[in-house]
Amino acid sequence: MLLKRRDLLKGTCASLVYSLFPHRTRAGQSDLLPKRILGRTGVEVAVLGYGAMQVSDPAIIRHGLELGINYIDTADCYMGGRNEKVVGKAVAGIRDRVVIATKVHIAKESRMRRSVDRSLASLGVQRIDLMQLHNLRSREQVVRKDVQDVLTKMKQEGKLRFTAVTTHSNQTEVLEAVVEDGFYDAVLVAVNFRSPKKLFDTIEKAAAAGVGIIAMKTQNGGFKDKDAPELTPHQASLRYVINKPGVHVAVPGMLSKKMIAENLEAASRKIDLADVVRLENFRKDLVGRACSFCSSCIDQCRYGVGGLDVARTRMYVEGYDDRDLALSNGRAVLSNIRLCATCEGCTVRCNQGIDIQVSAQQVYRFIS
């Protein structure tokens, strides 16, 4: 270990002071954000996007947009449908300068159409830039022609510009299928400094094949460093992902102007040695608490379930501090969580040290 924790904290403090009192002007800040082309969409995006999922004040999002962010991620189901309305207010008058990405679940055509129409109305826009299929887990879902036909029709009707998928599990398989199939323009993928090398390699190959790559969960779902709860290594985590080949834009959630300032600073410069040390300490601190979305538990589980649904629901409580989100997410995958909680004995070894069955029992009690 080259640096000790106190050195690490000094570095973090310095970053925080910098971000709170940036020497650059507010107008100039936007120039600091590198821009990239989002794969075959051809759209230019700043590397720092906006994960709007938990934001209820449009003025906070607008503040980020004024500082150079031009990509917003939302979904019809966030905040019980209110989140898209918040985003709609945030982009009012500047809609043409912003790339809006929202989501739809795979369903019957009529249901998918109702969802997209609701999104258009909530956002107050004529067209959605990126329509993403929610939470795909397999190649079979990626290649479904009936779903692609529905999206194509809505594209022809002018309701959306580009199509994409989001994934939290079996991500490598989903990314490879998107490349091979060639229909979708982009993938929203859960990736952070604890993700397996294979995922980063697949991201790089997908980007080389023209797939736009949007990174989420870049900061481990908001888990705090136990020893320094106010001084989290989130900047280093974000910087790590943004500097990985193939990643075009990251969409961390930002609930305050302070968080926006921190992330702008993080996204504006390269990763350095202090960041590497900071992440190594954070990595140790997260063992047993935070999922890395590696999916290896799904392959090991005799029921093909694994601990991802449990870990994700727990992340919404402990990391995001959002009980409503945890409840709605957990109840959507209740059967998987119940199966884990009542399983006759877990034989899965989580490589992040999470006790899946104990976690499942806690999460099950919380949501039921």
Q: Which residues bind ligand SF4 (CB under 6 A)?
A: 291-297, 301-303, 305-308, 311, 339-340, 343, 346-348, 350-352, 354, 356-357
Could you tell me which residues are beta bridge partners of residue 36? Answer: 45
User: Which residue stretches of 49-196 are H helix?
Assistant: 58-66, 82-91, 109-123, 139-142, 145-156, 171-181
To ligand SF4, the closest distance from the beta carbon of 6 in angstroms equals: 29
Sign, Cα dihedral of 303, 307, 309, 310: positive
User: How long a stretch of residues is the chain?
Assistant: 368
249: how many CB neighbours lie within 10 A of its CB? 28
Assigned token pair, 164: 């994409």
- Main-chain dihedrals φ then ψ at residue 35, nearest 5 degrees: -115, 150
To ligand SF4, the closest distance from the beta carbon of 162 in angstroms equals: 28
CA distance 277 to 226: 16
To the nearest 10 degrees (0 to 180), the angle between helices 273-286 and 234-242 is 110
Which residue number, 86 or 333, has a Cβ lying nearer to ligand SF4?
333
To ligand SF4, the closest distance from the beta carbon of 332 in angstroms equals: 17
In sequence order, the 6+-apart residues with CB closer than 8 A to the CB of 314 are 291, 326, 359, 362, 363
State the residue for tokens 């991500």. Answer: 171
Sign, Cα dihedral of 290, 294, 297, 298: positive
Which residue number, 270 or 302, has a Cβ lying nearer to ligand SF4?
302
To ligand SF4, the closest distance from the beta carbon of 185 in angstroms equals: 26
To ligand SF4, the closest distance from the beta carbon of 344 in angstroms equals: 8
Which residue number, 7 or 280, has a Cβ lying nearer to ligand SF4?
280
DSSP state of 222: G
To ligand SF4, the closest distance from the beta carbon of 303 in angstroms equals: 5
Which residue number, 19 or 192, has a Cβ lying nearer to ligand SF4?
192
Which residue number, 74 or 292, has a Cβ lying nearer to ligand SF4?
292
Which residue number, 217 or 248, has a Cβ lying nearer to ligand SF4?
217
To ligand SF4, the closest distance from the beta carbon of 265 in angstroms equals: 29
Which residue number, 56 or 347, has a Cβ lying nearer to ligand SF4?
347
CA distance 48 to 64: 10
